[in-house]
Amino acid sequence: MALKNLGDLPVLPLPESFALTAAYNEDSFPNKVNLGQGVYRDNNCQPWVLPSVRKAEETLHNQQVNHEYLPIAGDSKFLTKARDLLFSPEIGSSENITSLQTIAGTGANHLAAIFCARNLHPKNVFISDPTWDNHHLIWEVAAPNVTRKLYPYYEPSTRGLNFEGMLAELENSAEENDVVILHACAHNPTGIDPTKEQWKKIAEVVGRKKLFVVFDCAYQGFASGDTDADAWAIRYFYSTLFAESSSLTPAGMFVCQSLSKNFGLYGERIGALHLVTPSSNSPEGAKAHLVQFVRAEISCPSLFGARIVQTVLDDAELRSKWQEDVRIMALRIKGVRTLLKLELEKLGTPGDWSHIEQQIGMFSFTGLSSAQVQELKEKHHIYMLSNGRMSLSGLNESNVAYVAQAIRDVL
């Protein structure tokens, strides 16, 4: 039914993470702590421009490059480097992989949802419970006729992975051509990833039931500090399910790759979408449809971030420096995990806090209730998502004892 008055439209709330950041910025309390926003911060809790990125910026400045339009599909040299980083140079050159540049990982997820809804017509899309909240909004907006179903992922009693529940849901409910969204590494929000043996079992179910996989790879390098290790699941799925000799071939696979986070290029919104088709299928027709979607939405992608990534990955010395930058970020996050766990234990905080150290990546699913999170904000000026997700980059040696004491106080 058409609206008679635009004023009748309800006011929608800001996404929680953005609303939290706005509230944090307005808070004048001197010891406030932002554990809500999923961005890396240095040991002073300040934005960090990666030294490798700064050097690439200087290189580009000295080259006096222009600012012309890119092709609709994006910069081909950037896409080659991004694809090789994700799949490896040996796999990346395969003819059944096609790539487009996107507006970060969000744009890649949105393109994937539109393509799947309009061309595959799946009955369901399976999304982990919990997940990055934007997965739900993207599919609600881009594919309203596809039913969103949750598969179990987090087990509160163990604060670990509910692997049996996850497999059982896919086995019992997923139908051929349905879509399943998987986090490649550093699961958001839980920080819990399947083991290699568990990934193998997931791949077997996906291939046997002929599902369509959408891998969301937002944190390559952030999980372990090793970009190759963090791409293991994607490479395993490719080599096992899409080899010519495979008897378990899924409907296809998208990989949504963000390069905003592991290069610290948040505002440049740089990413890529990679489509993998079974070896018997050419990806050219699918790529043409994806290009049409890009043309309708943004005409062509952004240039500067792509140039930075290409410049870094194309130069052996810069690439080595960038890999060290990524390790520095990952090691700092691991370090504050240990500090927080030790502080909580020193205070005699009720419960077992080993999960904080065992989880991986930017986030920890603390196990705190929404009421406890609200109390942390109101009484201690500590900001985190209501589901208990903590962004660990907001911690450092100066505030970790304060945060631990505040958690102890609300329990």
Q: Is the pLDDT of residue 343 over 70?
A: yes
- In angstroms, rounded to a whole number, what is the distance separating the alpha carbons of residues 319 and 139? 35
Q: Using CB atoms within 10 A of its CB, is residue 123 exposed (0-12), middle (13-18) or buried (19+)?
A: middle
Bridge partners (DSSP) listed for residue 327: none
Report the mean per-residue pLDDT for the chain: 94
Q: Which fold has domain 16-49+318-410?
A: Aspartate Aminotransferase, domain 1 (3.90.1150)
pLDDT for 300-323, tens place per residue? 999 999 999 999 999 999 999 999
Distances (CA, A) of 256 to 86, 217, 310: 10, 6, 18
pLDDT for 95-125, tens place per residue? 889 999 999 999 999 999 999 999 999 999 9
Grade residue 245 by pLDDT with cuts at 50, 70 and 90.
Answer: low
pLDDT of res. 4: 75
pLDDT of res. 369: 95
DSSP state of 149: E
pLDDT for 166-197, tens place per residue? 999 999 999 999 999 999 999 999 999 999 99
The total of other beta-carbon atoms located within 10 Å of residue 117's CB is 18
Distances (CA, A) of 142 to 5, 137, 380: 25, 8, 39
State which of 6-20, 118-132, 278-292 shows the largest mean pLDDT.
118-132
Domains of the chain, residue spans: 16-49+318-410, 69-314
Decide yes or no: CATH 2.20.28.160 for domain 69-314: no
Q: Is the pLDDT of residue 14 over 80?
A: yes
Inter-axis angle of helices 196-208 and 232-241, to 10 degrees?
Answer: 40
Token pair for 151: 């598969």
Grade residue 374 by pLDDT with cuts at 50, 70 and 90.
Answer: very high
pLDDT of res. 90: 87
pLDDT of res. 312: 98
pLDDT for 202-235, tens place per residue? 999 999 999 999 999 999 998 999 999 999 999 9
Grade residue 138 by pLDDT with cuts at 50, 70 and 90.
Answer: very high
- In angstroms, rounded to a whole number, what is the distance separating the alpha carbons of residues 331 and 339? 12
pLDDT for 59-106, tens place per residue? 999 998 899 999 999 999 999 999 999 999 888 788 889 999 999 999
What is 208-256 written as a DSSP string?
HTT-EEEEEE--TTTTTS-HHHHTHHHHHHHHHHSSTT-S---SEEEEE
pLDDT of res. 249: 78
**Active-site annotation, residues:** 132, 216, 261
- In angstroms, rounded to a whole number, what is the distance separating the alpha carbons of residues 116 and 297? 17
